[in-house]
Amino acid sequence: MVLLLPALAEAHTGGSDTGLMAGLMHPVFGPDHLLAMISVGVVSVQLGGDNIWRIPLAFVGAMMVGAVLGLQQVALPYAELGIAASVLVLGMGIVIAHRGMSPWPITAHVAFFGALHGYAHGAEIPRSVSPALYTLGFVISTSVLHIFGMIIGEVATMQGWLSKGLRFTGAAVTASGVAFLLQSFSGTA
Amino acid sequence: MRRNKLCKFILSFVLVVGAIVSTAVDWNTTHLFNPAWHPHARFHDALFLLFLDATTLVMLWLLWRRSTEPAVAIKAVALYSAAVWTPFLYIEALIPGTSLLASADVPVLRVAGMVLAPNLIIAIVMIVLTIAGYWLARDASADA
């Protein structure tokens, strides 16, 4: 289904709601975007307290800044490598994050990676759509993915084995990040 | 308590995003200002949007106001959200001549023979989030 969504997003070229729909679909069809954004929600719940809001807001805020750079077609070399690295780092975040640890290193990484994801969204805006509606679309879509991550993180706190399972899932996300990174390296080499 | 707040946050997100997306998608020439639509059809679209936006504000107030019965507000908001989004699943079947698609050229997603219009996908996501938010709140109440 995820693989079919680009066609839905790209082909929706009629009417002024096209920007919104394209923006809504954009973060969903890239598995790297998808994993990173769900991971942000999971990590925020694992850190607990105000981090539940602070970390997703840091991602979304930085993403909007990055999107402006992307929409302006500002050159940002190695953005794709950074996005691949974000999956790796956020997967590791799921493995290690817990209440009591300082949230700031993760928050800083999340903001940095959010800017890169936003840049990619902005740079890949389909022609003839409204930039404002497109931005609104991917901000909403990203927030939905964060919330799905929060729900996953919260459900994992209900049982010990779920919590352990989540750590293993984090390791799997990290492995996916390594694969994305190798793919990006081979693409840039 | 934290889980209750997370639930209220999720339900608030569903309310606010639902109102914003519905208004943004309809407030243009594909719907509300579509010259091909009968003026009375456009009137009803405007009526729906303004009603949705107003009731969204009422639901947000209900959800976040100080109350000795916060579970009632959560249940009311979850039911309201279900009332807004579940009709997307059955209106076409219930009322002949209606369509999820604003025009024939709107691309749809086909999965296992099922046609999924973009607005149907959004409705399903909203319903899933509503159920998750309500379920988390119920679980929090059971723990308390």
Name chain B contacts of A133, Cβ cutoff 8 Å. Answer: 24
DSSP β-bridge partners for residue B109:
B116
Q: How far apart are the C-alpha atoms of B88 and B100, rounded to whole Å? A: 8
- In a domain? residue A88: yes
Nearest to A83 by CA among A62, A54, A105, A57: A62
Q: What pLDDT, on a 0 to 100 scale, did the predictor assign at position A1?
A: 37
- In a domain? residue A5: no
- In a domain? residue A172: yes
> What value does the mean pLDDT take over residues B77-83?
97
Are residues A140 and B17, on separate chains, in Cβ contact within 8 Å? yes
Q: Does B21 touch chain A (CB under 8 A)?
A: yes
Domain range annotation of chain B: 2-143
| Mean pLDDT computed over every residue of chain B | 91
Give residues 27 to 66 of B whose Cβ lies within 8 Å of A.
Answer: 28-30
- In a domain? residue A101: yes
- In a domain? residue A19: no
- Among chain A residues, CA nearest to B30: A15
Q: Does B16 touch chain A (CB under 8 A)?
A: no
ipTM attached to this prediction = 0.83
Q: Give the closest of B6, B103, B118 to A150, CB-based.
A: B6
- In a domain? residue A6: no
Q: What is the mean pLDDT of each run of 10 residues along chain A (189 residues)?
A: 40 52 84 95 94 94 96 90 96 94 94 96 86 90 96 92 95 96 79
Full domain range(s) for residue A89: 31-188
Q: What pLDDT, on a 0 to 100 scale, did the predictor assign at position B1?
A: 55
Give me the number of domains chain A comprises. 1
Q: Is the pLDDT of residue B75 over 70?
A: yes
> What value does the mean pLDDT take over residues B25-41?
92
Q: Does A12 touch chain B (CB under 8 A)?
A: yes
Q: How far apart are the C-alpha atoms of B19 and B51, rounded to whole Å? A: 10
